[in-house]
Amino acid sequence: MKTRAVILAGGEGTRLGVLTAKRTKPAVPFGGKYRIIDFPLSNCVNSNLYDVSIIAQYRPHSLIDHIGAGGPWDLDRNSTGGVRIYTPYRSRSSAWFAGTADAIQQNFAFIKRGKPDLVLILSGDHVYSMDYDMLIQYHIDHKADVTMGAIRVPLEEASRFGIVGVDQDNRCTTFLEKPANPPSQLANMGVYVFSMDVLNEVLWEDHLQSDSSHDFGKDILPRLINGGSRVFAFPYSGYWVDVGTVYSYWKAHMDLLTTPPTLNLHDASWVIHTRSEERPPMRVQRGAVFEDSLLCNGCVIEQGAKVIRSVLSPGVYVQSGATVVDSILLTDVTVGNNSVVERSVIDKRTHIATGCHIGTLDGAGSEGKIAMIGKNCRIPDAMTMEPGAMVGCDVIPADFTSKVILSGEYIQTRRLPNEL
């Protein structure tokens, strides 16, 4: 059957703090050299799906630059599919997307071109490796109207997800979106296969419902299940994470560093494709120490520096005597002489000067205790950032009024936009 994949990539990702101040959540860097959207995109091409539409909305520029014509994923094609990015537009009868279902409905005229038999709908902000061909075959074998990917999650986390009830044949009997008291641990992964005629009908019905939030989890799936449609859950047992919070983003990176890694980026049978920059080889000087870490091309680790359980993106420069532990440093970050960065996330092109102490390993078991610094910042000498402190984008030394940034404090630039 002819299948078209649609990736929803318009999420604002407010809980990721400064990481999404200037980019949409699916465009957030991950794992040193990737973006989050690389995972569903690579899953598509590894599953031999080469007809992909991406629906963007919030700050799509970084995403559009990254995807380009789709070459790194072998999606730079026309007659045989390819990748197309759809951004919001105003017509006489449309507005900004009200929900996930509304995003599909507003672009449905484009999605149904070519008359696909099935539509695979994916969230663009989850990290996982999945063979969609198995999901599609499961959908066909069960003569389903809709099939959703489902995974068991810890009960204490289940209230963050849509929770599915199933019978002995995995046919869905109930669906509760983020219930306060989850009745089970089977969670919706945000991966759906719809038969085209079913999707066409249910989207239009939902569009006409004035009291609907136009969301698949809140409205579409419960309505289909309660109406007796053949909705099935496809059981998935691999690695899957919604990096929707600062802690889950940090924890997913730490998962890459376990032995063996919980998510194996070195699996030659399931390559995660991305757009890479041309950088020189990594350089580690004599006397430097690095353990259980991922270091990308262009990184320089000077003599006497230490990098422990951390992920360094291309071009990161760790100067002599500096220490980086349990941290994520994005592209072209510099850590100055004798500075310490612990349990922190530092965004692109930020320079941390000499003798700073960013974050701490104290209280490592608690969520929210991650120090964060946004893009293009200049942190002056001898600054201290407590765990849970945050510095916004484009902050310079003149924006600081103290040498200590307390936990929960958020420092932003005082410059006007035209001064940046």
**Distance, CA of 21 to CA of 13 (rounded, Å):** 9
The answer on 302 and 220 residing in a single domain is no
Residues 10, 110: one domain? yes
3-state SS class at 37: coil
Same domain? For 248 and 296 the reply is no
CA dist list (Å): 41 to 126, 152, 158, 199: 11, 23, 26, 22
| Same domain flag for 222 and 320 | no
Q: How many Cα atoms are found within 13 Å in the side-chain-facing hemisphere of 169?
A: 12
pLDDT surpassing 80 at residue 378: yes
User: 196 with 327, same domain?
Assistant: no
In a domain, 360, yes or no: yes
| pLDDT of the residue at 83 | 94
Residues 100 and 237 occupy one common structural domain:
yes
- Same structural domain for residues 96 and 228? yes
Using the Cα atoms of residue 136, residue 138, residue 140 and residue 144 in order, give the sign of their dihedral.
negative
- Where does the pLDDT of residue 36 fall: very low under 50, low under 70, confident under 90, or very high at 90 and above? very high
Q: Hey, how many other C-beta atoms are within 10 angstroms of the C-beta on 128? A: 18
For 200-247, what is each residue's pLDDT tens digit?
Answer: 999 998 888 888 889 998 999 999 999 999 999 999 999 999 998 999
Question: Among the three residues 203, 236, 255, which one is the final residue of a domain in this structure?
Answer: 255
Give the structural domain span for 398. Answer: 283-419
Q: Tell whether 274 is covered by a domain.
A: no
What is the separation of C-alpha 281 from the centre of its chain, rounded to a whole number of angstroms? Answer: 27
Q: What's the average model confidence in pLDDT over 402-419?
A: 91
Digit-coded pLDDT (tens) for 174-203: 999 999 999 999 999 999 999 999 999 999
| pTM, to two decimals | 0.94
CA angle 134, 135, 136 (to 5 degrees): 90
Residues 288 and 250 in one domain: no
Mean pLDDT of 341-358: 98
Is 271 among the domain residues? no
Closest by CA to 38, choosing from 10, 11, 66, is 66
Does residue 278 lie in a domain region?
A: no
Three-class secondary structure of residue 22 per DSSP? coil
Tokens linked to 255: 């998962």
Does residue 220 sit in helix, strand or coil?
Answer: helix
Cβ contacts of residue 145 below 8 Å, gap of 6+?
194, 195, 198, 224, 229, 230, 231
CA-CA-CA-CA dihedral for 236, 26, 40, 30, to nearest 10: -80
Across the chain, what does the average pLDDT equal? 93
Give per-residue pLDDT as tens, 77-100.
877 789 999 987 665 555 678 788
Asked if residue 307 and residue 174 are part of one domain, the reply reads no
Classify residue 96: in a domain, yes or no. yes
174, 154 Cβ separation under 8 angstroms: no
Q: How many other CB atoms sit within 10 Å of the CB of residue 376?
A: 18
Total domains in the fold of the chain: 2
Same domain flag for 207 and 349: no
| Pair 185, 233 in one domain | yes
Q: Report the candidate in 315, 337, 203 with the shortest Cα–Cα distance to residue 329.
A: 315
Q: Residue 279 corresponds to which tokens in the numbers above?
A: 């950088």
Distance CA 65, CA 61 (A): 6
Q: What is the pLDDT of residue 281?
A: 96
The radius of gyration of the chain from alpha carbons, rounded to an integer in Å, stands at: 22
Q: Phi and psi at residue 14, in whole multiples of 5°?
A: -60, -30
Residues 301 and 227 in one domain: no
CATH no. for residue 353? 2.160.10.10
Give residue 48's identity as a one-letter amino acid code.
N
Last residue of a domain, one of 236, 255, 274: 255
pLDDT at 90: 60
Task: Supply the pLDDT for residue 244.
Answer: 85
CATH number at residue 122: 3.90.550.10
Question: Which candidate, 397, 395, 401, places its Cα nearest to that of 373?
Answer: 395
Quick check: 148 and 231 in contact, CB under 8 A?
A: yes
Provide the 8-state DSSP code for 216.
Answer: I
Task: Kindly state whether residue 262 falls inside one of the protein's structural domains.
Answer: no
**Predicted confidence (pLDDT) at residue 420 exceeds the cutoff of 80:** no
Q: Which tens digit of pLDDT belongs to each residue from 122-177? A: 999 999 999 999 999 999 999 999 999 999 999 988 998 999 999 999 999 999 99
What count of other Cβ atoms lies within 10 Å of the Cβ of residue 227?
Answer: 11
Structure tokens at 389: 């402190």
Q: Over pLDDT 90: what percentage of the chain?
A: 80
- Lowest-pLDDT choice from 280-284, 290-294, 416-420: 416-420
- Dihedral sign for Cα 279, 281, 286, 290, please: positive
